[in-house]
Amino acid sequence: MNQILELREKRAKAWEAAKAFLDTKRGADGLISAEDSATYDKMEADVVNLGKEIERLEKQAAIDAELAKPTSSPLTNQPGNHTAKEKTGRASDAYKKAFWDSIRKKNYYDVTDALAVGTDTEGGYLVPDEFEKTLVQALQEQNFFRTLATIIQTSSGERKIPVVTGHGEAAWMDEGGLYPESDDNFGQVTISAYKLGTAIKVSEELINDSVFDLESYIAAEFARRVGTKEEEAFITGNGTSKPTGVFTSAESAVTTTGTAITFDDVMDLYHSLRNVYRNKSVWILNDTTVKALRKLKDNNGNYIWQPSVQLGQPDMILNRPYYTSVFAPDIAAGNKVIAFGDFSYYWIADRQGRSFKRLNELYAPNGQIGFLASERVDGKLILPEAVKTLAIKSV
């Protein structure tokens, strides 16, 4: 923990040195020479690399803390004749055992009764409830957007969500006068269920090795592959056979006057969002855009990017946290490059149940067993006014 704090302080000092260097090397036109620019880029790279090392150490600390937790809880209730309620369906021990037997063993037929409740329409089986939670947790680790959005469970392929599109108002009235009628207006947002899948191959030797942790491997691979595609769709998806991304559907509140982003552009975007959403807002952008914002100052001469020096506190832009994604658009003419808002109004609908199906013969010549893993999911910004974007001027 002390090492993390030391690195945070070291990064803060490195950033102060980089800012001071930039300020002293600016010419009358506000620009710096190519040589000084290269020096500054190296100083900024050191700040970025220190930030990545801090993230790695924080993740290691979180994993160590998780592994250090007790594996069982002490008995605190009074002894008696109480019998624990037996779990049923996909939560039952019988279903869990039958599912993993069907995954590990070729031509395992003794599964009909136990797996009947979890039979998928395409021949696979829905994963047990406990493993479902493991997959969702792994997805959140791979796809940061799930930690910002609101996640709902659906049992069918389509869900209609009522949304208030206009609010009623109060009005001044005379004594004894009629109360004014003013109703809220409601609309509907439809969330579907698009299919996302992958084929995972495992060697026969590993499948037959009882020591091999098949559950953890499948969870990690599923999350890595699916989480990446989810993040891409939730950010820039076009809504065709995939979710509609937040950059796609959010309103462009600010457009730059030139090809570069200015402090006024960022400030205008910040204040384009109503205060009720701004209190919980965060920024989403890519690393290239963050680099451009690091050089911007407010009207008091303070840089708007601020590195965190406290544990558990993220780096800030205008005192609001930010998240970077490789799928956020680059700075180019016509692109929306920064999204700012309360992303809890982006809803992710998981059609309950991830499905797995074992393939015995397809990869047999290579000595491998295949697993088809899939989920059905959709995502949509249900309240467009909760998120605003900044766009680069078109040429």
Q: What is the 3-state secondary structure (H, E, C) of 167-232?
A: CCCCCCCCCCCCCCCCCCEEEEEEECCEEEEEEEEEEHHHHHCCCCCHHHHHHHHHHHHHHHHHHH
**Which of 48, 64, 80 is the last residue before a domain boundary?**
64
DSSP readout, 338-360?
EEEE-GGGEEEEEEEEEEEEEES
- Mean pLDDT for the stretch of residues 268-292: 94
Q: pLDDT at position 91, please?
A: 63
Q: pLDDT at position 222, please?
A: 81
Tokens describing residue 307: 């590195």
Q: pLDDT at position 125, please?
A: 57
Which range, of 17-21, 65-69, 277-281, 303-307, averages the lowest pLDDT?
A: 65-69
Do residue 47 and residue 142 come from a single domain? Answer: no
The verdict on residue 290 lying in a domain is yes
- C-alpha 376/C-alpha 372 separation (Å) is 13
Do residue 134 and residue 19 come from a single domain? Answer: no
Residue 350 has pLDDT above 80, yes or no: yes
**Which of 31, 64, 97 is the last residue before a domain boundary?**
64
More confident: 332 or 367: 332
The verdict on residue 23 lying in a domain is yes
Do residue 14 and residue 160 come from a single domain? Answer: no
Do residue 292 and residue 376 come from a single domain? Answer: yes
Chain segment 137-150, per-residue pLDDT in tens: 667 777 889 999 99
**Which of 38, 64, 90 is the last residue before a domain boundary?**
64
The verdict on residue 335 lying in a domain is yes
The verdict on residue 241 lying in a domain is yes
Do residue 33 and residue 146 come from a single domain? Answer: no
Look up the CATH number of the domain holding residue 129.
3.90.1690.10
Do residue 285 and residue 160 come from a single domain? Answer: yes
Q: From residue 262, how far is each of 33, 38, 163, 294, 392 by CA, in Å?
A: 20, 21, 35, 11, 11
Residue 167 contacts by C-beta under 8 Å, 6 or more apart in sequence? 184, 185
Tokens describing residue 188: 């509907």
Q: Which domain holds residue 313?
A: 125-164+190-395
Do residue 244 and residue 382 come from a single domain? Answer: yes
Tokens describing residue 297: 């100052």
Residue 6 has pLDDT above 90, yes or no: no
Paired sense of beta strands 387-391 and 125-126, if any: unpaired
Q: pLDDT at position 111, please?
A: 47
The verdict on residue 10 lying in a domain is yes
- Percent of the chain scoring above 90 in pLDDT: 31
- Mean pLDDT for the stretch of residues 347-372: 82
Tokens describing residue 304: 């708007």
Do residue 371 and residue 250 come from a single domain? Answer: yes
Chain segment 56-93, per-residue pLDDT in tens: 888 888 777 776 777 666 656 555 555 556 665 566 66
Give residue 225's Cα distance to chain centre: 14
Q: pLDDT at position 92, please?
A: 67
Name 251's bridge partners. 388
**What is the Cβ-side half-sphere exposure of residue 93, based on CA atoms within 13 angstroms?**
2
Number of domains in the chain: 2
- Mean pLDDT for the stretch of residues 178-202: 78
SS3 label, residue 363 = coil
Do residue 131 and residue 34 come from a single domain? Answer: no
The verdict on residue 73 lying in a domain is no
Q: Is the dihedral of CA 336, 339, 344, 349 positive or negative?
A: positive
- Percent of the chain scoring above 70 in pLDDT: 77
Q: pLDDT at position 130, please?
A: 64
Predicted confidence band of residue 340 (pLDDT cuts 50, 70, 90): very high
DSSP readout, 289-335?
HHHHHTT-B-TTS-BSEE---STT---EETTEEEEE-TTSPPS-TT-
Q: What is the mean pLDDT of the chain?
A: 81
- Mean pLDDT for the stretch of residues 170-191: 74
Do residue 194 and residue 287 come from a single domain? Answer: yes
More confident: 55 or 391: 391
The verdict on residue 89 lying in a domain is no
Q: In 3D, which of 166, 213, 158 has the Cα closest to residue 189?
A: 158
Q: pLDDT at position 34, please?
A: 87
Predicted confidence band of residue 312 (pLDDT cuts 50, 70, 90): confident
Do residue 10 and residue 155 come from a single domain? Answer: no
Do residue 196 and residue 289 come from a single domain? Answer: yes
The verdict on residue 292 lying in a domain is yes
